[in-house]
Amino acid sequence: MSHSVSSATATDIGAYDYIIIGAGSAGCVLANRLGEDPKARILVLEAGGSDKSIYVEMPTALSIPMNTKRFNWGMVTEPEPGLDNRVMNLPRGKGLGGSSSINGMCYVRGNPMDYELWSALGAGGWHWANVLPYFQRLENVKGGGPLRGIHGPISVTRGPETNPLYQTFVQAGSQAGYAASPNMNQRQHEGMGPMEMSVGGGKRSSAAVGYLRPAIKRGNVRVISQALVDRILFDQGRASGVLFTQNGRPQLARADQEIILSAGAIMSPVILKRSGIGPAKELQAHQIEVQADRAEVGENLMDHLEVYVQQECTQPVSLFSHMNLIGKAMIGARWLLTKGGLGATNHFESGGHIRSRAGIVYPDIQYHFLPLAISYDGKTLAKGHGFQVHVGTKRSKSRGWVRLRSADSCDLPRVRFNYMTHPEDRPEMRACIRLTREIFAQPAFAPYRGKELAPGDACQSDDSIDQFITDKVESAYHPCGTCRMGDDAAAVVDPKTMRVKGVQGLLVVDSSVMPQATAGDLNAPTLMLAERASDLIRGRALPAAQDAPLLAAPDWALSQRSRDISHDYAGDRDSLRAALLANARR
């Protein structure tokens, strides 16, 4: 038996009803909702520390916490074979709020059909009409709107869209033949329109702010920071406790009811494996005693990839003039005084969702438009005024894995996404670039359009575009799928209870259980998933939404784009299910 921490020398810190591993997006929701019962005793174990920082609070500063050791695990991938063995950056939130404290704050529910697909793939009970009430429960949408929530813990706002380029992008999309959507989180996800962000009162609305702090105030939720979980302990097949270290000292917490693993798509499978749940061969290779041989733990890893298509801007309207020291200082000063101005936005104020080709039921390409030419991590900036889109596919069929480097809890895992290794990946990503160029070539952009900065005019052939993708594509930081929920024998988690199959008293609730990545940023779906799971754990559920439209272009089978997204499949879920599964087959 190889283990870095011994339970024999650990200090017993007592028993709790629920032990939640990870104070990220899902863990914060669970602590709050399960803590609504004043008799419930809840322990939350978080490997990182406090989220209190001006850089976490200030939306425009998003690239700073993403690049600091305090808030980021600092992981990188194994060499990626589909990208000429590039090693890719893999930031994961560390600290209260998890990745919701370091992400880009884009609030995207996904397409309603994402959840029909989850259901079709075996996650029974997770279709759109069932999950919509949980999106509504978590949202506090400024101004409300159809199908929205207005009393939830997460503030959702739109940017002011004062920059003319935001509307220009939507207008150009319309000129290119795509639908416009007044709000892509309401009835119609497909098309171009304004984007929303998890920001309230000019400050980041993370899961720690919205859920965890109010939960702690009630008095029945205890959070231990700097708690590095070694493994879950079992007693006759039932999860009975958690062994962890705090500042190097081994400690043991016992669970009277359940242990809930919410450590995210990378760390949840790692902790399962260290605890003896995973592929038996891998566990035995690390001298870990097998509790349950589950071949898919750590497999099915998905992510969203994106490239930047960057254009020179011929008028001085982009954000470039604010990118010097004086400009940044003025943004910061205004935000400190008023919580307003350019400091209060993530700058992704418009975007879009389109289909890469005819025959796809709902969007598989997402746009984040930015009135600046800069990399996501803020490290490389164009030399003048420009604008760009982050564009990428949302349902790539390639799958990766998360595997143990060793049984030592101090060792970060080995992660390989196998990006761009499925034969459909390249044509889909080429479509992203070519369809974007067509939008940027529309008359709406004529007053602003200079030369193309990236990929550049010389990059036209399939081979040259493929090389650009290989060299420049980046993760959108949306890993999921490594503890897939489903009704088949191979699935890791039961979708009706969130329990890990093969053991008792252990649940997984975070993006690792998603059977398919959604068509958009993953934070809002993760919060929704934890909201619904918190009810499943308590043996209850909100009634299904009566008004839950499933809109698609009537001519999706024949046309790649449409201005008309009006066909509602809500009354014809059988044919929709068949079409979705046909699209999803590998």
Q: By C-alpha distance, which of 194, 574, 518 is closest to 363?
A: 518
Strands, E, within 106-162: which ranges? 106-107, 139-141, 154-158
Q: How far apart are CA 325 and CA 247, in angstroms?
A: 38
Single-letter residue type at 416: R
Residue recorded with tokens 């997460």: 154
Q: By C-alpha distance, which of 497, 553, 475, 532 is closest to 111?
A: 553
Q: What size, in residues, is the chain?
A: 586
Element (H, E) at 223: strand 221-224
Q: How far apart are CA 347 and CA 328, in angstroms?
A: 14
Q: How far apart are CA 112 and CA 549, in angstroms?
A: 8
Which residues, at least 6 apart from 182, have a Cβ–Cβ distance to it below 8 Å? 188, 193, 194
CA distances from 94 to 47, 48, 53, 253 (A): 7, 5, 13, 21
Cross-strand partners of 403? 414
The answer to whether the bond into 279 is cis (omega within 30° of 0) is: no
- Does 229 appear as a known binding residue? yes
CA distances from 438 to 173, 175, 432 (A): 9, 10, 10
Element (H, E) at 11: strand 11-21
Q: How far apart are CA 200 and CA 138, in angstroms?
A: 14
Q: By C-alpha distance, which of 59, 51, 92 is closest to 340?
A: 59
- Kindly list the catalytic residues: 478
Give CA 434 to chain center in angstroms. 26
User: Residues forming the annotated binding site for FAD?
Assistant: 229
User: Residues forming the annotated binding site?
Assistant: 229
